[in-house]
Structure 1
């Protein structure tokens, strides 16, 4: 279900405004079009469309080519009224035109508006010169027989308002247009970091809809007839032709500094009047999902030449910025001081990424958001919702426009719904040769688990961290991986004592900082106080590393019949010199039913170790049975939001020695650690859930010292020092061909 709003509301609040000099001159432009024969007054229609598209005997790209003539004529008429106007966008209609990027051809809209890099007269002259020189160029040795000339390649970075056309107005054709257009719009937001939102257009016969997609919502207008309601098309085309890039969705605070021949792009990004230049992309897979936080992370160079890390994210308007969450955690840790030397805040802070700059992005003097700024404050919550894909209806050649408004279906699931926030596996499916990418967003919509009819708006936020550290994904020293996890467990100990949970411990949020010879924990944007239940109490995390209970959103250890004795409760000694007994730690008791608790963060640490040994070989000692390992990898790390074999794998830790048959033999000590930690976890889970549903016993949450005892088991770290990790590649192609697309994408991203 998506909002469908009146066309006039869309134009008044969302669509780019008219140039000031043309605000009262749409009728005058229409009269010029009539005088020039662009409008056939006698037949009351556009001259370029002598018959309805459904009655034409040409392909869509040919039939709707007439829109280009109308667009150019509208722009020329506007300039006749105000000669000072500078046209910024043209309209290109060719039908099934590839949109290129650094990933290749991503999608194929039927038409789009293209940013003009120079005035149209100069472009026309250049095109004419190219055509005159074309015969001579064909004889040169440089031109290969199958290579297309550069002027035929349209790059997504210059394109706006993708459009899809159908000659027929049948519901089947409309649904196909909608699916393709959404994919086109999705690709623009995914491939171009400079975009905040995008427009789109669909036409079936004469029925025309305008669309809008931001990181918070997808909406469309009620249909209008572009042949009969010509004044509306004139108004829309004038706005398109002379709109600023900002009003068309570009972000003025991030610009492309340079692009090489392979279209690898370098960006200059502003944070509160300070500018950072990108050096490398560290993470951008989450931005492939059109609705959500769209987190992108770059390695950047500041104005002094120092290397930093910059994160760009769209946060829910009722969530705090990450630097404020970090400050709140440290304040609560500071209040934990129970005796001399217990400087918990200092112990935690040195194991956290250190922010040095942050900013709520401002556009046109306002803090950018998906509601007040992008929608002009328009209230979508009261807008009627319609089925994104409506039931099929027969086509009628006499219908001038077809409405899509259908009764709200309570069993339908809205596209804007989301239950897994930071790194949605199924929400970023990349096309494969066997898939239909334009359908993926619709498939994802049907798979959502909860229905939401309100729009959760977002604001644009950036933060820069001083340390440029290596994620566990990329760290090649197994010893450093375990040393990093030791520090993370220490950090989690303080975090949990302070009454917080992280909720997104993953291979991308745990770092080895070589310069400081220490492990760091980052990305606190999903951290919450355990006492703050009810606000954003949805599943969060990266599916590869989420605790089994978090995946199913319920307790899994409540039916255990054997009674397990709890481990002794001890306080962490950060110097590992001795252990000292203490009173029960101050941990807030979580409510029932299900709530995220500290054991889930620790289980995520456990899954990181599993990930490392399943997705890597010892460089000098490879697996003897890689195909079996691949099958187990797929079973445990498929990326879907269900528990499947993960709970069994955690419970049956005594069977883990079998994994030695298909993992690198040198990983045997790591398997021992995994087994011991699994026993500690399952014991804690079972004891904490023993009297469920009456309560969850929080005294069993603080098992961090038992974790550390296993991670620094005598001799293990020394043995790991000789192991260099090599990412799994053997049999990868054979395996990925049989994988679900989402698992294949995540596997590629992790490699």
Structure 2
């Protein structure tokens, strides 16, 4: 179900504002168009004597939209390019042109230059609505996922005469009520004037990230990123130049869009810069770190603080990103206020749309009641932090033994952090874990946050999953280092009883931190193989990889895998992994059994949850991962990536000729036909006019 807002709200609060020279002049411009014959006495656009469905080829009929404003027109077979190798074709778009010298090595039409993608259909029928919706959402997603400078984007779809406008950012996405572009002249004129004369900031580009270089061969872009840190009464701004991307695993889904770069500061030192969108009621990372260290000092001593610091990254600079002096967020700045939802568009076949948003497929009706309930929209703010340390990431580490050693360091840090009485690790950057609740926020947080690949099963489900399992004993079982799955029929969770029990507020705890570590280790084994002893069944491994790590927040594959199936299918999993991974898998099996026992102990008095640090098996886990036999065996294993990622949960729409998503290597642009280009124009205020492209 796609929420709809009113056209008045969209034009008032979403579209870029018109320049002062055009304020209040839309009606006069429409009248001028009538006087000049662009709008005929019959009240139709001159280029549209008949409705679009009367024509046979949309590339002919919708091209006439460009003639209305003498806009920059692009033939439909030009490919929007990005170095990831994605090929797709929005039917039209707005393209920003840099008057200060365009980077010549860029493809003519790259995703990073495009805004307001448009999709067209000649017929106004449910299948056309579905197809256009999936395509425009895909295009808007691509724009945000591939370009770190982008804060939001807009789009539009037209089926025959029926026009809808779209909005997509790091939190909500929605469409509008429809209007007839043939008859509603004022709407169409306002829309195109707004897009043509808007500034890059108003159109969704981030002004504090600039492109400094584009590699002529790989087309990789180097960015200059500014971070403005408050130091007392002063604000100190440092600009960092990117060297390479370390992680952008979160950018393919609508959400925090976390990107991490290796950067160089103005003095030539390597640093690490993290850029992401945090939930509005989450404390920034540098404040959480300070709170943890203060608590450690209060409950222990300075030596304990120093030990903990040795496991934590050191912040050098940090800021909440501002747009024209105002802290940027997905509601107050981008949308100005909480928009009122007046209806819902529910495509009949919107699998690609629903998958892109990690949601359940919508009901089989084209449009729902105007009384449709507004979905919850969680505000996020834009945050950056720079760290002093740079090291090899777990993802890039090639020695399996070193990965287990790094996990032991993380466990040491977690022990020290939770020894202060804090409920959890607070999401400080010592490893890529799920982002738990901040101790600075007294109430439970209702949003499932974190990288879906590594989120605990309970955090992913946002529910307690182990309360119905009987405790095998009143005390914790000894930690097992054997490889035999242990499970009886009574250990199956009673889902019916779970559903009938009153549900307490779900609160993240330290057990979820351990499970995130477990998922990181599982991820390492699934996405790698021993270079000397490769997997005997790579197809089975790939299939399991796609299920376990599809990136969808509503997926139950990983939840059930941790709760039950890893133990049940241990031998099957072992058969499609590299043979030398057997001991590592045995360790992970024991870790999961130990953790599930702790979960059961924590939830045995449900709805009362025992989240005390004493039940968390830190010491048992440390003993397991630093086992001499494990480290000896794994230190001889050189890891080899088997695939860059699991099969994407978001893919290009399968409908529509030629729309195909490819990720392997750089792809050449298709042959381009020369396009008509409107001359540069400036409005009365001196602002450069963007070029509007439409088919």
Q: Same fold (TM over 0.5)?
A: yes
Q: Does 1:446 align with 2:361?
A: yes
- Distance in 2 between residues matched to 1:743 and 1:107, nearest whole Å: 11
Q: In the alignment, what sits opposite 2:292?
A: 329
Q: In the alignment, what sits opposite 1:378?
A: 337
Q: Does 1:482 align with 2:404?
A: yes
Q: 1:600 to 1:92 in 2, by over 3 A?
A: same
- Distance in 1 between residues matched to 2:303 and 2:478, nearest whole Å: 23
- Distance in 1 between residues matched to 2:334 and 2:550, nearest whole Å: 36
- Distance in 2 between residues matched to 1:243 and 1:664, nearest whole Å: 55
Q: 1:701 to 1:537 in 2, by over 3 A?
A: farther
- Distance in 1 between residues matched to 2:320 and 2:287, nearest whole Å: 12
Shift of 1:562: 2.8
Instruction: String of CA shifts for 1:433-469, please: whole Å, max 9, x gaps.
Output: xxx8567437845289xx9623222211111111112
Larger radius of gyration: 1
Shift of 1:558: 3.9
Q: In the alignment, what sits opposite 1:288?
A: 252
Quick one: which of 334, 338, 344 aligns to 1:387?
A: 344
Q: In the alignment, what sits opposite 1:727?
A: 641
Q: In the alignment, what sits opposite 2:66?
A: 68
Instruction: String of CA shifts for 1:621-659, please: whole Å, max 9, x gaps.
Output: 44455556556656655655322332225656xx95786
Q: Does 1:50 align with 2:49?
A: yes
Quick one: which of 94, 104, 119 aligns to 1:164?
A: 119
Equivalent pair of 1:5/1:384 in contact (CA under 8 Å): yes
Shift of 1:271: 0.8
Q: In the alignment, what sits opposite 1:12?
A: 12
Q: In the alignment, what sits opposite 2:691?
A: none
How is 1:703-722 mapped onto 2 (pairs within 5 angstroms)?
703-722=617-636
- Distance in 2 between residues matched to 1:479 and 1:331, nearest whole Å: 33
Equivalent pair of 2:4/2:344 in contact (CA under 8 Å): no
Aligned residues: 609
Shift of 1:612: 3.2
Q: In the alignment, what sits opposite 2:185?
A: 230
Residues 326-335 or 697-706, more deviating: 697-706
Q: 1:102 to 1:657 in 2, by over 3 A?
A: closer
Q: In the alignment, what sits opposite 1:566?
A: 476
How is 1:688-707 mapped onto 2 (pairs within 5 angstroms)?
688-693=602-607, 695-696=609-610, 698=612, 700-707=614-621
Instruction: String of CA shifts for 1:721-740, please: whole Å, max 9, x gaps.
Output: 333222336xx99xx8xx78
Instruction: String of CA shifts for 1:13-55, please: whole Å, max 9, x gaps.
Output: 2222222222243344334433433222x3222211112223x
How is 1:324-403 mapped onto 2 (pairs within 5 angstroms)?
324-337=287-300, 343-375=303-335, 377-380=336-339, 383-389=340-346
Q: Does 1:241 align with 2:196?
A: yes
Shift of 1:475: 0.8
TM-score between the two structures when normalised by the length of structure 2: 0.77
Q: Which runs of 5+ in 2 are unaligned?
A: 229-236, 364-372, 480-502, 653-660, 666-695
Q: 1:527 to 1:240 in 2, by over 3 A?
A: same
Shift of 1:97: 4.9
- Distance in 2 between residues matched to 1:500 and 1:171, nearest whole Å: 53
* SS of match in other structure, 2:377: coil
- Distance in 1 between residues matched to 2:604 and 2:106, nearest whole Å: 69
Q: In the alignment, what sits opposite 2:151?
A: 196
Equivalent pair of 2:157/2:164 in contact (CA under 8 Å): yes
Q: In the alignment, what sits opposite 1:473?
A: 395
* SS of match in other structure, 1:473: coil
Q: In the alignment, what sits opposite 1:646?
A: 562
Q: Does 1:116 align with 2:31?
A: no
- Distance in 2 between residues matched to 1:176 and 1:248, nearest whole Å: 25
Shift of 1:322: 1.3
Q: 1:27 to 1:677 in 2, by over 3 A?
A: closer
- Distance in 2 between residues matched to 1:483 and 1:443, nearest whole Å: 34
* SS of match in other structure, 2:69: helix
Q: Does 1:305 align with 2:268?
A: yes
How is 1:591-610 mapped onto 2 (pairs within 5 angstroms)?
595-610=507-522
Shift of 1:351: 0.6
- Distance in 1 between residues matched to 2:19 and 2:573, nearest whole Å: 68
TM-score between the two structures when normalised by the length of structure 1: 0.72
Q: In the alignment, what sits opposite 2:523?
A: 611
Equivalent pair of 1:478/1:723 in contact (CA under 8 Å): yes
Q: 1:706 to 1:390 in 2, by over 3 A?
A: closer
* SS of match in other structure, 2:415: helix
Shift of 1:560: 3.0
Q: 1:699 to 1:9 in 2, by over 3 A?
A: closer
- Distance in 1 between residues matched to 2:94 and 2:639, nearest whole Å: 48
How is 1:511-522 mapped onto 2 (pairs within 5 angstroms)?
520-521=430-431
Greater relative CO, 1 or 2 (CA 8 Å, sep 6+) = 2
Shift of 1:614: 4.2
Instruction: String of CA shifts for 1:256-308, please: whole Å, max 9, x gaps.
Output: 1111234211111111131111111112231122x311111111111111111
- Distance in 2 between residues matched to 1:703 and 1:30, nearest whole Å: 71
- Distance in 2 between residues matched to 1:639 and 1:61, nearest whole Å: 36
* SS of match in other structure, 1:109: coil
- Distance in 2 between residues matched to 1:614 and 1:224, nearest whole Å: 49
* SS of match in other structure, 1:101: coil
Q: 1:260 to 1:502 in 2, by over 3 A?
A: farther
